[in-house]
Chain A
């Protein structure tokens, strides 16, 4: 028995070393951005890993110098878009998922199949058509357009929340129905208050979407720099004529954007896992 445990110790030591090496590989690029954001020397990269001098000017310039790149404006654009998107799309997602999970009506199955089929088209295949539709309404290149694009289709992504509603016990609904409560009342007063986790999950995921999207924002905004989001703006900083002078500021911006997004993701990961595997476990 003793021999066994010393062998296990040896194996575990190997595992520790292996995991630590892997962890280092995984953390290095992240560490590199953070170091770059404090680097004193400009340039898109240095031939050495640790910067020669450290400064917080990259952050200060990024936030105060608006002559070439108006990062604060892009930041507030993104914040505005994501707050509004977050509210509307949470409303959409919860409505659709509750309907599909709890209510029974004739077109339920067909609608769910249509959602499945629509999901198989490449997401941005029709983005140029979306642009023209928005143009027909006269709102192309505006933040409103971006909000509409981010929220309008969210009803299709109801699977995770539906999976959650499927697990909320029905006994309460039935009891309330016997007491004469309408279905609308049950939704508002009984199911929603019991669904805090999924509401938070939906709020947070729809809040992050505008921060990390590049494709739709790039097509809809075109060259309207005023209404850029952070993703577009930071990408712009890496263009050939800017990259040398602005790379360290890009890194600072990347750090500023990444911190809240990373915190949100880490705090919602367990819902994400449940959403991906939940449906299959139940069959």
Chain B
């Protein structure tokens, strides 16, 4: 009853004022305007972290689960993009702004021919500086070490025109002008023989390509792709000498270099106007995208890796769900108590989501670190261009976070079982 006499305004104020009086030294609180919404997010995060931290074994198994999912997704996406990159590597190396291609060509390793005359027609436009025919064909290469034969990609073009550029090409360009001279892609698969070593030992040497003996006069660096395990570059004239069955008036691709400062889109539109419909006019990006699209849609490769990624995410999600679910189930009384003392369902949901976020982060970071190393290992074993890119890291983190959040949302349903009415 003393409450009433003490506090005419608030009957339950005395205990508060009494408390305040008992600790007059309490520092004056800072204005809470700023940290308030932040605190509403950080407090559940802290509670979630304290709860996760309390059970180390479970935390580590959760971490391992998320890490596993992260590694799996990283590897799948890494392979996927490495294969697509390698598939388009040849075209990506070309430095022209516009390309002419037969509309029926699906992929560069299997080109449909187009009339060579289109290159000359393109020169009718004043903004076209160069139009260079590029010849593509596959033939066989006899391994100079053991004599075995293997399919190899040939790329022929006017080396001096500068429309196509590979690493190391400039150094051997003069040598490639000689009759039957070829440049070998030093990054080709090892099944072609250790040409780089042989070249280092002997200098230029003879190998059999198709049914003809040619001279390896130097090394370039392109890299194998889906379509080709190795590459040979040569001058246009040598290409025609080696591939006899081709009609000389046909080519496979025309690389067009524009005068400096030309609007590429406008030039593309004008070329489209003046050229017959038996060619398509593509920008460099469109050409690469066309090639990539072939591998993504016309082969099961894109699907396989997407499927692998999804499997990894599902496994990770199940693990995280198990962890979160058992965390809730084991702490039902505590959760119910928190509800009883005034925490809302929404607040506890935030605790669960915060736990999911924490698991996503602590699983992702070691997973990403492990993958940087694994990429190195795999790249040296498969000759595929595998490397960690910031875009992929962000994307995988997004996927892992989504995975953990989904697991959190599923586990959250268990919160309903935390009924404060059953506490008494």
A binds B: no
Residues of A within 8 A of B (CB): none
